[in-house]
Structure formats: C-alpha cells, structure tokens
Amino acid sequence: MIPLKRLLPPLALLLLWAGSLGAAEGEETVVVTRIEGQLSESMMATLERAIDRAVHEEAAALILEIDTPGGEIELMDRLGGLLATAEVQPIALVLNEAVSAGAFLAMSCELIFTMGNAQIGSATPIHISPVGIVPEGTNPDLEEKTLSYLRAKFRDRAQTHDRPGMEALAEAMVDRRVEVLLVDDGGDRRPMTRDEFDDLIRSRGAGAVRMIETICSNEDLLNLTAQEAFDYGFSDGIVLSRDELLESQGLDDARVIEILPSWSERMVGALEGIQWILLVAGLVLVYIEFKMPGFGIAGSLGLIFLSLLMFKNYLVGLAEIPEILLVLLGFVLLVVEIFVFPGFGAAGIAGITCISLGVIFSFLPFFLPDGPVEVSMLKETIQSFSISLAAVFISLMLFSKVLPRTPILNRLVLDSGSGPATLQGSAVGLAPEFDAVRDVAVGDAGTAASDLRPAGKVVVDGQPFDARSEGDWIARGERVLIVSSEGNHLVVRKSV
C-alpha cells in the first residue's frame, strides 16, 4: 500500500490543475482581427477564419480593427455580408480611417467605436478601368445606376442599427447631392436629409421642427471626425486603445485571440497586384516552350505562373473546380492542336475559348451578372483579359526577334513547292551559315532535332523545320526521311 503522505502532493497538484482548468473554462474570450490597407480578396479568408474561431471559442465579441481607404464594391458587399451574418457580436474599432467601403464595414458591425483621430465616410463610387480611374461624366448612366445601388446599400445597412438619423448620414457619405441637417424634432435632436426636413415642415407646420445646423451641404461628401460621428449618433464612443474598448464592454479580463493573415493569405495579397502580369507571362512562356524542343525552364515557369494565378483565385473562393477544369481542358486541346494535328483548327479555337472563359470566370464571384455593379465588374474583367491577350501577342512578336526559332501564332514556315515532290522552307537559326530559302524534296534525309511525339523539329541540311512523325515516336538525334508535307509541317519517318 502506498503511504498517504506520498499521495498528498500529487493530489494537491491535481486539484490545482482542475481548479485552473475550471477558471479557464469560465474565462471570456474575445477574437480580434484587422482590415488594414486597400481591400483585397485575401481579407475574405482572414475574416472567415476569425469568425469561425470566434464561434468555436464561443467568444463574447469579435473586434474588427479598421484602417482602410476602401476597395471594390463587390468585395465590400461580401465582407460586409460576413460581418452582418456572423454568429458572434462584431464590434468595429476605427483606428485611423474607415473611408468608402471601410464605412460600410463599420456599419456592418453591431457597435462602432473610433479612436480619437479617426475619420469615417467619403464613400462615393469611383470607376476604375484597366488603364486607370475613369473621369467622372464619362458614362453618366452607369455612374447614376452605381450611385443609386450603393446609396441603397448604405441606407439599408444603416437601418439595421435602429439609430435615428444614421440613414441620412450614410446616404450623404455616398452621394454629394444629399444635404443633411441636424434637426430638433420636439426635443429629439437627430440628423435628417433636406427632403425629410421639408416633408416634416409640410406635414406638421413650420413651428413643429427646427433646424439646428447643416451637417453636410449638397455639394460635399460627408466625412465625419471621431467626435462628429459620436455627437451625431453614428458611433457608440471614442476610445484611446483596444484595452479601453474592452473595458467599456466589461471584457477587460477577457482572453484576447488575434487572427493574423496566414502565409497563404499574404501570398494572395501579393499576387493580387500582379495577377494579369502572371497571366501574360504564363501564356507567353508556355507558348515558347511548345515551339522549342524538349521541356525546360520556359515551360516550367509558365506553368508555375498560371498555377499561382489559379491557386490565388481558388484560395479566395473565386475559382471553383469548374473554372480550373475548363482551363486545364483548354491546355489539353492546345496540346492536341500543336502535337497531334499541327496547324490551326477546331481544337486550337476550342482550347483558346476554354482558357479564356475559365480565366474570366475565375475572377468573378458570379456566373451571370445581376445589377449594375456586377455588369461593370464583368466588363472590366473582359477588358483586362483583352489587354492581357494583346500584351501576349506583342510579347510574342518581340520574342520572335530575339528567338528566331519561335514562330508567331503558328505562322507557316513551309510553303508547298512547284509539285508534290518538293517542299520549301527557311533556315531559322540552328546553323547561321544557312540563310537562304531552299527546296526540300520528298525522300531527303534529316535528323530529329527534338523528340517527335509525334510533332517536333527536324533538321535537313542544317535547316530546322516543323515536323510530325508518320508512325512511331522518334527520339531526338535519330535519322529521318521526309515523306510528304501537310500544311505547315513536314511528315517524316525513321530512316532504316
């Protein structure tokens, strides 16, 4: 039997551990994450992780620290939707600025607090094309539709707070034509638009309501300081720090869990600024690899660039499996076109179409656009893709000057001669001493300059030609005989 005095120390430690465990279980938890800088797709993943962690921990609150100049309307709407439907109380803490889309994110939280030097507002939509900001007045109909859409979004989100006058302030942040007044309505001070004020005058009489001051004229966008936001009822208070905010909510002793961007989310943020460059570089490098013997650095880099692009869109929830499979199908069709049926036909056209549709839809969170914002987003994506294709074509033209062996877009390098027994081609750089165009006859012998599986390159008298094996695959370096020509390439077989 073990003496009792030996059991006492372990029992005491066990009781202490159980007590600390019970205290830990009873401790409240707060999850904190941050929206900082221009809105990006990577923030969707970070915010989703923060909300999931808060739900898992049964957190008392989710604090969203905001310091952003805004971003795309569609992304703003998705981020705001996550906050508005979160199963935990989200609290906004505006650190420096919640401008444009940032103001909408703040209103998507149940409570809004600001730091002393913070500002919030200025949310009028700005149209940005692939080449820069579109000047105001370029497309009045689209601008008015977008403005009306965004104005309704802000007003609806403000109404969820049930704060008198917040809807008027939200509208004035979007539309500079909205004039907002501070009105005394029978002892109740609240902001309202000029139209709302005039309606009250008509319905109650001039003495029933009194204008105290003009908060925002009908020529300026509303942008509130921290003090103004609190005075007009837009925010719930001004704090000096996160700790003071926690203390005001009775959570000063809560365990704080910070959710920071992961390495993959940081990578997505970095790739977002160069996504179209990745597309151009990937397509150019893959094309160069197709037109050169073997498989080397160009093809590897091209596939890496395109994979990074699709991975980035997949990680943020834009590129789903159908879009990825569509792009892969497009590349398979191009390979078939290049190696099995050289020339430019149905497989090539179908391949380019599949790649184009897959890439375009991988940048969009919808299949068919609904509303002016999504229509505008689709147009901008198509414009960016078209510019990228033009950049691919120009790049290939430039490379054709540097790499003479790289024909542009399957340019014909062989022409039929005077009869079926003669072919004409040109030396394109394997042997600099051969510069002149010469005739190549059926029956001439040559050497495989690359593996023919079944398509590749052959050299006849030092001059390279596109070629296809008539039967079995032919290894690089084997002797071949010219059998015939088909379109833009030679047909060869092994020399016995």
462-476 pLDDT, tens digit per residue, is 888 888 887 677 888
Phi, psi values for residue 61, rounded to 5°: -160, 155
Residue 10, pLDDT score: 52
Q: In the prediction, which pLDDT does 345 show?
A: 62
**Strand stretches in 377-450, DSSP E:** 415-416, 422-426, 437-441, 445-448
Could you tell me the fold of the domain covering 415-494? OB fold (Dihydrolipoamide Acetyltransferase, E2P) (2.40.50)
* pLDDT given at position 374: 67
Residue 127 has pLDDT above 90, yes or no: no
Residue type, 170: A
Greatest mean pLDDT among 56-65, 317-326, 418-427 = 56-65
Mean pLDDT value of segment 326-348: 70
Compute the distance between CA of residue 484 and CA of residue 442 in angstroms, rounded to an integer.
6
217 has pLDDT over 60: yes
Domain ranges of the chain: 27-122+222-265, 141-219, 274-402, 415-494
The larger pLDDT score, comparing residue 315 to residue 415, is at 315
Q: What tokens does 397 get?
A: 């033209």
> Which tops the pLDDT comparison, 483 or 424?
483
In the structure encoding, which two tokens stand for residue 364, read together? 């969009």
Residues 177, 170: contact at Cβ < 8 Å?
Answer: no
Q: Percentage of the chain surpassing pLDDT 70?
A: 75
Instruction: Tell me what percent of the chain is helix, strand and coil, each rounded to the nearest 5.
Output: 45, 25, 30
Q: For 320-444, where are the E strands, in sequence order?
A: 415-416, 422-426, 437-441
The larger pLDDT score, comparing residue 493 to residue 415, is at: 493
- pLDDT score recorded for residue 487: 57
Q: Average of pLDDT values for 437-441?
A: 62
Better pLDDT: 444 or 90: 90
* CA-closest candidate to residue 355, choices 377, 385, 380, 311: 385
Lowest mean pLDDT, pick from 114-128, 300-314, 334-348: 334-348
| Long-range interactions of 464-473: CB distance < 8 A, separation 24+ | 464/405, 464/427, 464/428, 464/429, 464/430, 465/413, 465/414, 465/425, 465/440, 465/489, 465/490, 466/342, 466/407, 466/413, 466/414, 466/490, 467/491, 467/492, 468/342, 468/492, 469/493
The secondary structure of residue 146, as a DSSP letter, is H
pLDDT of residue 319: 60
pLDDT digits (tens, 9 = 90+) for 266-322: 777 777 777 778 888 887 877 776 665 445 677 678 778 877 877 777 766 666 677
User: Is the separation of the CB atoms in 76 and 228 below 8 Å?
Assistant: no
Is a pLDDT exceeding 90 seen at residue 133? no
Pair 152, 145: CB distance under 8 Å: no
Beta-strand runs (E) in 80-207: 90-99, 111-115, 119-121, 128-129, 132-133, 180-185, 188-193
* pTM higher than the cut 0.75: no
Of 489, 454, 444, the C-alpha closest to 475 is 454
Both tokens of 74, joined, read 């569609």
The residues pairing with 469 across neighbouring beta strands, listed in sequence order, are 492
- State residue 230's pLDDT score: 95
For 367-414, write each residue's pLDDT tens digit: 666 766 667 767 777 777 788 778 888 877 776 666 544 444 443 333
| pLDDT greater than 80 at residue 214 | yes
454 with 468: CB under 8 angstroms?
yes
Which of the pair, 453 or 329, is modelled with greater confidence?
329
Helix (H) or strand (E) holding 457: strand 455-460
What's the CA gap between 234 and 445, in Å, rounded? 85
CA dihedral 102, 107, 108, 111 (to 10 degrees): 120
What's the pLDDT at 340? Answer: 66
Query: Quick check: 114 and 120 in contact, CB under 8 A?
Result: yes
CATH homologous superfamily for 27-122+222-265? 2-enoyl-CoA Hydratase; Chain A, domain 1 (3.90.226.10)
Residue 159's alpha-carbon distances to 76, 107, 108, 171, 234, in angstroms, are 18, 10, 11, 11, 12
Coil, strand or helix at 183 = strand
pLDDT, tens digit, 9 for 90 and up, residues 138-153? 667 767 888 888 899 9
Determine which of 44-58, 72-86, 163-177, 455-469 has the lowest per-residue pLDDT on average: 455-469
The confidence score (pLDDT) of residue 167 equals 93
Res 3 pLDDT > 60: no
Between 198 and 205, the more confident residue is: 198
Confidence of residue 56 (pLDDT cuts 50, 70, 90): very high
